[in-house]
Each structure stands twice: as C-alpha cells, then as structure tokens.
Amino acid sequence: MSWRINILGSGAIGGLCAAGAHKAKLTYRCFVRQDRNPLRYAEGLDGQITTLEYASNDSYPLGDTDLLIMPLKAFQLEDALRQWQGKISLNTPVLLLHNGMGGVELARDIIPDNPVLLATTSHGALKLNADTVKHTGLGATMLGMAFHHPKAISLQHQLTPIMEACIGPVTWRDDMHNALWQKLLINCAINPLTALANVNNGELAQASYRPTLQAICEEVCLTAQACGIFIDAKSALEQVLNVIENTAENYSSMHQDIAHKRPTEIDAINGYVVKQAQKKGIDVPVNTQMLLAIKAL
C-alpha cells in the first residue's frame, strides 16, 4: 500500500518534511491557503537545494491512505482542522506537528473519529524568504498517538518509516504527552528569551541568562507534576542547555515570528503553562512575565 503524504502550510518545518519525502521518493504534495505563496525550495544541511512539489491552493478529498501532516502554528490549527474535517475520510490519519500545547483538545473536538498522531521535533529550520527554507540544525523527532485509536499499532508500523524519511530520526513514544511537556519546557525557556533579547539560541549560554532559565524550568516542572507528568528540574535545565548548545546558530521560531512581525505561539507555550498553573493554584511568576512581555511587543 503506497501512502500519499499531504503537507499543509508554507512553514519551515513543513518544508523540511517535504524535502525529506522528496529525497526518499515518496509521493507527497504541499497545500497552502489561497492567499499564501507555496514553498518552492529547501536547502539541506549540506547546502543541496531540493525543488519541492506543490499541489495547488485547492484542497481536495483525502482517502484512507493519505496522511495529512499539519505542521502549522498552534493558533492556525483550529481553522485548518475545520477546513479539512469534511474533506478527509474517517480513516485518514492526521498528524499534528506544532510547538506548544492545545492541538490534542482541538483534534478531539473537531475530528474525534480520525486517528490523530502527534509529533515534536528539535530540527532547526529557517525561512530564508517566502519560497525557500533552510535546514539549520540536525535534530530528532518523536512520534506517537494523540489519543487511543484501534488502529494505533498498525499506524505505528506504517507511519514511523514515512516520518523517518520526512523528518527523522524518529522515535515512537507511547507516552507522547510526556514528550510534549519536555518540548514545551524547552520552548518556554528558549523561545521568549531569544525573542525578547533579540539573540540566537547560543547567546542563552551566557551566565547572565542562567537564573531566568532555571526559574522557568522549575516553574514548568512544578506545573507538569501537578498535571501528572514528572520532569526533574535539574535534568530539565540540563536538557535546555543541551538544546541551546546544539542549536546555537539558530534563531528560535518565536524570534523569527517577532522579527517578521507575525503572531507568536506564546499562548500555546508559556501561556499554556500559566493557565495550567492557575488551575492548580501554582505561582509561575517568570513564565507570566515572559507571557506578558511577548504580548507587549
């Protein structure tokens, strides 16, 4: 059975997925909204340029062996899910790939019968201009089910190799929610600080940022624990420092959004932590400060 991969949007991570599918000779097409330019080129870590395939601005019905990948911003997801909900069969797997939280709740609400997968990636990517994306840092991707589905095991076997080609290396996680909280922690620490200070990720290795990074990690860990997810604060800070080192040359997605005057994902990142903390009666002053400072920009 040959899968057709459908990639939504014109974002940097979607561009990486398309380039990976192209190089592996998989069948894929990219869809963008009517008013948006499609991505045309992807520059690999080795400098090699891939010319991407592009379907059209018109979405068309997707069947059971069409994988729909949604590498969108968290705030674009609701509209996109509503737009595609009538165009996909109930068996079409939908893969959410965004920073921050909130996608699972939307998918459960809008496409409750479809198999929904979640992915989170630490690959770095940058849009050089409207039609070119550049792979800026080698990362890894975690993949798992968003919620229970009877076909979960066969989907794991079918879709892991596909995603491996698109944006590997891929690790399948049965505890995807833990993985998402770990990525949330990294985004809470790196994204607002780089955007506010107008620096690349590597700058955050300076000692002056350490107390803020540590406070963010501690607050996120406390909130995660109250939500039933255990992340140790010490290893959390170590993880953040590792990502800072491995993506030192990258500008975070929030830095890029602020620099291009685009809406940010702050509500799904630090905003999500602040909301969960409020529900649990936990004080998270540094995450609140990040949220307010980014909103004020």
Q: Which residues here bind ligand KPL, judged by CB under 6 A?
A: 99, 122, 124, 186-187, 190-191, 201, 243, 247, 250, 252-253
Supply the minimum distance, in Å, between the C-beta of residue 230 and ligand KPL.
21
183 is catalytic: yes
Reduce the secondary structure of 192-226 to three states and give it as a string. HHHHHHCCCHHHHHCHHHHHHHHHHHHHHHHHHHH
Name the residue nearer to ligand KPL (CB basis): 141 or 191: 191
Supply the minimum distance, in Å, between the C-beta of residue 186 and ligand KPL.
5
For the chain, percent helix, then strand, then coil, each to nearest 5? 50, 20, 35
Task: Considering the candidates 25, 73, 87, 183, report the single residue annotated as catalytic.
Answer: 183
Supply the minimum distance, in Å, between the C-beta of residue 85 and ligand KPL.
27
Instruction: Count the neighbouring beta carbons within 10 Å of the beta carbon of residue 140.
Output: 13
Longest CA span, the chain: 54
CA separation for the pair 114, 108 (Å, rounded): 9
Distances from the Cα of 79 to the Cα of 39, 55, 68, 242, angstroms: 20, 20, 15, 35
**169 cis-preceded (ω within 30 degrees of 0):** yes
Supply the minimum distance, in Å, between the C-beta of residue 259 and ligand KPL.
12
Name the residue nearer to ligand KPL (CB basis): 191 or 270: 191
Name the residue nearer to ligand KPL (CB basis): 26 or 70: 70
Name the residue nearer to ligand KPL (CB basis): 6 or 250: 250
Task: Evaluate whether 204 touches 190 at the Cβ level (below 8 Å).
Answer: yes
Q: Which two tokens stand for residue 240?
A: 């953040």
Name the residue nearer to ligand KPL (CB basis): 88 or 221: 221
Supply the minimum distance, in Å, between the C-beta of residue 297 and ligand KPL.
16
Distances from the Cα of 99 to the Cα of 9, 127, 180, 187, 269, angstroms: 15, 17, 9, 7, 7
Q: Give catalytic residue positions.
A: 183
